[in-house]
Structure 1
Amino acid sequence: MNVLWVFAHPEQASLSGSLRDEGVQALVEAGHEVRMSDLYAMKWKAVVDRDDFPEETSPQLRVTTASRRAYEAGTLSADIRGEQEKLAWADLVVLQFPLWWYSMPAILKGWVDRVFVKGFAYGVTDPSDGRTLRYGEGTLAGKRALVVLTAGSQEPAFGPRGINGQLDLALFPLLHGTLWYTGMSILPPVAVYGADRVSAEDHAAAVSLVRSKVLSAEQDAPLPYRSQNGGDYDGDLVLRGSLAPGLSGLGVHYHPGA
């Protein structure tokens, strides 16, 4: 298995850093190949600007149009092309970050903004019928994605009735709106809770959790999201009334029984 590990934490000597090292070591020992994108170490530029597509000189072009043209022409900036090559190579994409304000750090959001350009990760249609390929289909279909995060809160607060919201629903914009949107199959997120007060025993448990989850990523069942073009949504992309009747909210986008 080819694994791209995208790491977004400013401190190498952190709990996150040690969990990354343990996870990568476990994968390598099991015979998998790992490539690393350590965004802070790379000094990754997080803002989309015209320097990303230097050959597109017309300021009248929308950014999405200019970036797509540059992608198709192979003239995107070298750092973006390098990350796209890693993504194309990978079977599994691990996104690791500390949970900041219920989301990922800005540097990782900037990685997504700059790398997942139109034509590469979205904006693709089926040539046979013109359907837009997204939410379970698309150029990144067939790949798996695993989110590994650290959170200061304790686990119960991220439970079904916890004040922070159930973790997979709190992360819905990333898991469903970004990763599933581009076609990847999304594994249940792995979280290390109480990350600001971890004992030696807690650390050992966290290491064991991360190692086991990355090693089982090929076999674990992904989150059972509904696909856009599987018949569950109408022409306005609204869930059909016969499905999950009387219910609303993010949970309706899971298949029943999940």
Structure 2
Amino acid sequence: MAAKNVLIVYAHQSAASFNAAVKKAAEEAFKAQGCDVVVSDLYAMKFKATATEDDVTGGIKNPEHFCYGEETMTAWQEGRLSPDIVAEQKKLKDADLVIFQFPMYWFTMPAIMKGWIDRVLTKGFAFSPEKPYSEGIFKNKKAMLSFTTNSHETMFSASGINGDINVTLWPIQNGILHFCGFQVLPPQIFWAPAYVPQEARASMLETWTGRLQGLLNEAPLSFAPCDSFDLEKGFQMKVDVQEKHSGSPYGLTVGHHLGKPLPPNSQMKAGV
């Protein structure tokens, strides 16, 4: 296997946390495979989470109505983004695989990591409205979520109190990662490590370490490709694609369910 570059975007405040142990296991496993590993420890870096005019140097094009997306795209094109964004974009540009390691907060990632997404994934650098999703800029890169929960797995089931975890993951895995073109690997979820015995946490780490041995060769999750949608009809799914799946008991994806039951575990397992 050719040497690969791995970027771990990490968000936890404590070096003694389970998230820290998970991150360390990934670092060690990839280095043992000959990979170059870079970690962006967001809390340690005191990474700025807010998307503001400070992210642009050398002046704003339209100070009367600041539009963050347009201003940062222009700044990226002209080399005028703030140094902290440029540094993270360099890491991301070099990466073959990006792992987002975090504790789930309010059914999503911590604010500091969402700030990394907002600021680093600049329009033009990370995504293009003309070529989104399967045609996206990062279509040759892989990305995945690795996170801990405060709830047990049963609570995130289709009949559980928190609802289906596949629905929870759709906005992040499809709306952020897949939108930028990433091949999205199935997530690694550590269910309620704070509420299980030490032996169970050790078993979680062992399972993760085992998965890491073949992670770079895993198949990504399935999403509806861009050519399934008709640009001239407002990006609606083509009639022939809908007809092709008319006999299926399930929709295509969590988001493109076609009024049918959601495909089971389509945000959890490849090839579903």
Counterpart of 1:56 in structure 2 is 59
| Pairing 1:186–2:184 present | yes
Superposed CA offset, 1:192-212 (max 9, x none): 112222322112111112222
**CA distance 1:73–1:189, shift in 2 (3 Å):** same
CA contact (8 A) 1:8 1:107 kept: yes
Q: How does 1:47-126 map to 2 (within 5 A)?
A: 47-58=50-61, 59-60=63-64, 61-123=66-128
Counterpart of 2:211 in structure 1 is 213
Superposed CA offset, 1:115-153 (max 9, x none): 0111111125xxxxxxx1111222211100111000011
| Pairing 1:161–2:159 present | yes
- Tell me the amino acid that sits aligned with residue 33 of structure 1: D
| Pairing 1:19–2:22 present | yes
DSSP 3-state at the match of 1:136: helix
DSSP 3-state at the match of 1:68: helix
Structure 2: gaps of 5 or more residues: 258-262
The whole-number CA distance in structure 2 between the counterparts of 1:193 and 1:177 is: 23
CA RMSD of aligned residues (A): 2.1
Displacement of 1:89 after TM fit?
A: 0.3
Question: Which stretch shows the higher mean deviation, 73-82 or 234-243?
Answer: 234-243
The whole-number CA distance in structure 1 between the counterparts of 2:15 and 2:88 is: 21
| Pairing 1:252–2:256 present | yes
Superposed CA offset, 1:88-132 (max 9, x none): 1000000011111100000000000000111111125xxxxxxx1
- Tell me the amino acid that sits aligned with residue 72 of structure 1: Q
Counterpart of 1:127 in structure 2 is none
DSSP 3-state at the match of 2:39: strand
Question: Which stretch shows the higher mean deviation, 157-166 or 85-94?
Answer: 157-166
Q: Give the % identical residues.
A: 34
Counterpart of 1:222 in structure 2 is 220
The whole-number CA distance in structure 2 between the counterparts of 1:194 and 1:62 is: 40
The whole-number CA distance in structure 1 between the counterparts of 2:155 and 2:229 is: 32
CA contact (8 A) 1:190 1:213 kept: no
> How many equivalent residue pairs?
249
CA contact (8 A) 1:98 1:104 kept: yes
Counterpart of 2:260 in structure 1 is none
**CA distance 1:57–1:173, shift in 2 (3 Å):** same
Counterpart of 1:242 in structure 2 is 243
Displacement of 1:251 after TM fit?
A: 5.2
2:9 to 6, 10, 14: 6
Counterpart of 2:133 in structure 1 is 135
The whole-number CA distance in structure 2 between the counterparts of 1:208 and 1:238 is: 44
Displacement of 1:163 after TM fit?
A: 3.0
The whole-number CA distance in structure 1 between the counterparts of 2:150 and 2:43 is: 21
Counterpart of 1:231 in structure 2 is 228
- Tell me the amino acid that sits aligned with residue 19 of structure 1: V
Task: Name the structure with the higher helix share.
Answer: 2
User: TM-score, normalised to structure 2's length?
Assistant: 0.85
CA contact (8 A) 1:56 1:66 kept: no
- Tell me the amino acid that sits aligned with residue 228 of structure 2: G
The whole-number CA distance in structure 1 between the counterparts of 2:223 and 2:155 is: 24
Displacement of 1:167 after TM fit?
A: 2.3
- Tell me the amino acid that sits aligned with residue 139 of structure 2: A
- Tell me the amino acid that sits aligned with residue 91 of structure 1: D
The whole-number CA distance in structure 2 between the counterparts of 1:236 and 1:163 is: 36
DSSP 3-state at the match of 1:176: helix
